[in-house]
Amino acid sequence: MNKKDQVIALLKSIETGEAGPAAVINPSQYTQHNLGVADGLAGFGAVLQQLPPNSAKVNTVRVFEDGDYVFTHSDYDFFGPKIGFDVFRFEQGQIVEHWDNLQETPATANPSGHTMIDGPTQATDLTQTEWNKALVESFVDDILVNGRMEKLAGYYNGDHYIQHNPQIGDGLSGLGQALEAMAAQGITMKYDKIHRVLGEGNFVLVLSEGTFGGQHTSFFDLFRVENGKIAEHWDTIETIPAPSDWKNDNGKF
């Protein structure tokens, strides 16, 4: 199996309980960045043991590969319904490191009728990966980290922008309305640092750190690029717990 298939099988094994797919994890070196899970293969196994029998469901909707990294977008029932991004780093054919970001699945679609997981799933424009990664990193740095809103329109093709964030409607108008509504409620969203940018073709995932509503937060944002512009966006937002509550010392990123 290739790396993508190995990752899909590993994630599915959370649901099925099958032991074989976990063999792709390096038993002597597995660095875990989910702060609720202990380090190593033993930590992964311990979490699976805590799941109520037959409760887990995993549907991996998107899987992409960037060098040694495979990243996925999955619909989970894992201690409750969640949408999650997972990032796995391979070394010599085995998984040696894992990051994720999980958000509870909302009960309803967003203002434009989209869910957190629907939309295109297959990467295209495979020769444009590095260009698209640079575009998206510039967008996150300009707009989300530094607030250079005068540059916002330049990243989009007019108002053609499909949004999967559960609170925000399509288009730049939807984004503007959501930001105004948050500001009116005194809720601030601030991106402080980009930690990692991964891509395959027209899909780019950005891992960032910041604050949301005053809470230390991790932002995983997936963008689809079309004709050199940002065309679609999915994300998960997760509060980073206080270090005293961490099950490992590796940090979220």
1-51 tens-digit pLDDT: 999 999 999 999 999 989 899 999 999 999 999 999 999 999 998 988 888
Give the pair of three-digit tokens for residue 220: 């995983």
The CB-side HSE value for 220 (13 A sphere, CA atoms) comes to: 25
What domains appear along the chain, each with residue ranges and CATH number? 3-105 (3.10.450.50), 126-239 (3.10.450.50)
Give the pair of three-digit tokens for residue 121: 């799933």
pLDDT at 105: 97
Residue type, 251: G
- Residue 223 clears pLDDT 90, i.e. is over it: yes
The CA distance from 217 to 15, in Å, is 28
Average of pLDDT values for 132-157? 93
Nearest to 159 by CA among 173, 169, 178: 173
Provide the mean pLDDT of the chain: 94
Helix (H) or strand (E) holding 82: strand 81-91
Say what the pTM is.
Answer: 0.96
Q: How far is CA 9 from CA 14, 101, 244, in A?
A: 9, 19, 33
Burial tier of 244 (Cβ tally within 10 Å: 0-12, 13-18, 19+) = exposed
Q: How far is CA 150 from CA 90, 134, 153, 169, 175, in A?
A: 40, 19, 7, 21, 14
Nearest to 125 by CA among 222, 224, 52: 224
164-206 tens-digit pLDDT: 999 999 988 877 777 778 878 888 889 999 999 999 999 999 9
Pairing mode, strands 94-104 and 31-32: parallel
92-119 tens-digit pLDDT: 999 999 999 999 999 999 999 999 999 9
- Quickly tell me which residue has 């500001």 as its tokens: 183
pLDDT at 68: 98
Average of pLDDT values for 62-76? 98
Nearest to 77 by CA among 9, 14, 4: 14
Terminal CA-CA length for the chain: 28
